[in-house]
Structure 1
Amino acid sequence: MTQALYGPEGFYRRPEGPAGHFRTSVHASPLFAAAVARLLCRVDEALGHPGELAFVDMAAGRGELVAGVLSALPAEVAARTLAYAVELADPPAGPDPAVRWVAEPPRGVRGLLFANEWLDNVPLDIAEADFEGRPRLVLVDADGTESLGAPVGGPEAEWLRRWWPLRTPGARAEIGLTRDAAWAKAVAGVERGLAVAVDYAHTRAARPPFGTLTGFRAGRDCSPVPDGSCDLTAHVAVDACALPGALLLTQRTALHALGLSGTRPPLSLASSDPAAYLRALSHAGAAAELTAPGGLGGFSWLAQPVGIDGRGVLGDLGDLGDMEPREASGAPD
């Protein structure tokens, strides 16, 4: 998976970039970057408006999010913002000199670290229960042919017992130990501020019985063949990643708390100011897509405050829908 995604011929090294194959919230509308910019401003306020404010865009792709956030910031905040794009692939041609492109998350961050659809692409191992119910590693050839390997042991076996027990023959799990470590490392770089991971996710109470590993190419699901031709992605066991004090909420709840609403404008505006009505209608449509419960709005936001009040920064959490934010203890439910 590591080679297929990030090796010399890996999927994320391809010249067209991720946007050539799939559409994230960042690509759906500039309203998403504007909401992240508002979150950065709230973090700035919680930090007391420091002379240098950091924004770290994890798995930055071609820099779409970091560019959108910088352009949406008030001039006074933008002037103090030090922006990082964390990406293994080469930066785009003619990169913005205001953005520092790095391969690893920086240390000593005072500000906001934001990871949009990063953890689902952190490589991991797959386990499957054999006919006796023993978890075994799933091996895969370059053409996608699978077979069962050795029994899972060591820390990986302990992780499965704690977070994703397998008992039924044929049941599968994605061993999230590498993702837990990657997230902990990213958060450790935040000296004071907020770290947020946004992704497809599930919790221990509702693990998918056969896992979620899939491929994605040119806008469509495909077989997860590890040859570099497609994305390889698996949903995140987000409760295992959560560190003490974390908040877990849906994107719908988070964006509503950041002032983004899909409410249609009043029809009376169509008569009084047709152009303004059309602009407001377009805004509402884009906001509705970003917050749709069965779509992008159903993504999980894992918010990890470091030295600040996370609930205060996120504001009124309002209607929580089907996923209550909770303080994560780092222990299973």
Structure 2
Amino acid sequence: MLSGDCGRDVVDRAVPHAPDGARPWRGAIEEALYGPDGFYRRPEGPAGHFRTSVHASPLFAHAVAGLLCLVDEALGRPAELDVVDMGAGRGELVTAVLGALPAGTAARARGYAVEVAGRPSGLDPRVEWLAEPPKGITGLLFANEWLDNVPVEVAEVDPEGVPRLVLVRPDGTERLGEPVGGAEAEWLARWWPLAPEEGLRAEIGLPRDRAWAGAVAGVGRGLAVAVDYAHLAGARPPFGTLTGFREGRETAPVPDGSCDLTAHVALDACALPGARLLTQRDALRALGVTGGRPPLSLATTDPTAYVRALAGAGEAAELTAPGGLGDFGWLIQPVGIPDPLLA
């Protein structure tokens, strides 16, 4: 979920439509998601269309709260501790994190939700609602499924073996445009080189690299974390990942505001010096979310506790499952502190 104007420094809003209504995917995605009638301005919010780790289980927010406590310790327990939720949806994560903190830490914590949509009614008054992340953050900036919604261009190899920008019409049909050039061509060559085979595709992640660098620049001291669908060099999907989601189901990507438009993230390209990449499974296990079943003996001594523990184990298993949420990438970016998950 894109927030404010982070990552839009290279968007050319003046790019005209061709006579057939086609234009490059990046501008089409931006208007479809964040324009006046865009998908992320709809009243039901993202949770009405897809389920993230935040919605899967409260264990996720508890794990992020635990991570914030580790950051707090690494910072020497400052008088004010920031937690910034990038692409906050309706503020579900930051609200739950504040509620999961120990009382002493919660008293020093300041919550920020960064989102392009307006502040929802009934949001915890402790959460400040912003269109841009604050500057000089001391604490944790957490971007859960944010970068996958930063708009990108799509490239496809033509019959002559040349990568060209893909243009899309309002109904979702496509055709090829100009050859990829400049900084975008350099990014492709470095991070997602395409063989000269007709039909191969890539999403050009340069806007995401810039968006992430801009978000990290707002952290004075602490930790920035991006969590997303991800792929790494050497294992890029040959035909890209651009897709749509509507009412909980994957659908064709049509840039008309009716569905989410998302593409997996080349997190290794986003990483800044000192960063570390790991899977959600490994990150959550380091934070105590294991998915282990409770002992059967508990069913006899305390049946209610056993049922609760069993439900928690099921939720933890979903958050860490291979082939599912557990395969999400975590980009860990310390700023002025050691990596708290390595301490």
TM range (shorter): over 0.9
Answer yes or no: is 1:104 the counterpart of 2:97. no
* Structure 1 residue 84: Cα displacement: 0.7
Contact 1:198/1:302 (<8 A) preserved = yes
CA contact (8 A) 1:258 1:315 kept: no
Please point out which of 249, 252, 263 is paired with 1:220.
Answer: 249
Give the Cα–Cα distance (whole angstroms) in 1 for the partners of residues 325 and 201 of structure 2.
25
Normalising by structure 1, what TM-score?
Answer: 0.93
Q: Which residue of 2 aligns with 1:328?
A: none
Q: How many residues align?
A: 314
SS in 2 for 1:136: strand
In 2, the alpha carbon distance for the partners of 1:9 and 1:200 equals 26
For residue 205 of structure 1, what is the amino acid of its counterpart? G
How far, CA to CA, are the matches of 2:44 and 2:301 in structure 1? 44
Distance 2:306 2:159 in 1: 61
Contact 1:270-1:277 within 8 A present in 2 as well: yes
User: 2:118 matched to which residue of 1?
Assistant: 90
Deviation at 1:315, TM superposition (A): 4.1
Alignment of 1:179-190 (within 5 A): 179-190=208-219
Is 1:66 matched with 2:94? yes
Q: Does 1:34 align with 2:62?
A: yes
Residue among 69, 73, 76 paired with 1:48: 76
Deviation, 1:2, is 0.2
Shift >6 Å, 4+ stretches: none
| Structure 1 residues 5-50: Cα deviation after superposition (integer angstroms, max 9, x where no partner) | 0001111011100000010000001110000000000000000000
Q: Distance in 2 between matches of 1:294 and 1:50?
A: 39
Work out the percentage of aligned pairs sharing the same amino acid.
Answer: 75
State the distance in 1 between where 2:311 and 2:123 align: 30
In 1: Cα distance, 2:67 partner to 2:223 partner: 9
Aligned to 1:211: 240
Partner of 1:314: 341
Q: Which residue of 1 aligns with 2:19?
A: none
- Select 1:114's aligned residue among 139, 142, 146: 142
In structure 1, the partner of 2:13 is: none
Partners of 2:65 and 2:181 lie apart in 1 by: 43
Amino acid paired to 2:133: P
Aligned-residue offset at 1:269: 1.1
Q: CA offsets per residue over residues 254-295 of structure 1, 9 Å max, x none?
A: 000001110001111111111111111111111111111111
Counterpart-to-counterpart distance in 2, 1:131 and 1:105: 44
Corresponding residue of 1:237: 266
One of 4, 17, 23 as aligned partner of 2:45: 17
SS of the residue 1:204 aligns to: coil
**Is the aligned partner of 1:57 residue 2:85?**
yes
Deviation at 1:145, TM superposition (A): 1.0
Cα RMSD after superposing both structures: 0.8
- Partner-residue secondary structure (3-state), 2:151: coil
Q: Which amino acid aligns with 1:129?
A: V
**How far off its partner does 1:82 sit?**
1.1
Deviation at 1:67, TM superposition (A): 0.6
Deviation at 1:247, TM superposition (A): 0.6
The answer to whether the 8 A contact 1:18-1:61 is kept is yes
**Structure 1 residue 133 displacement after superposition:** 1.0
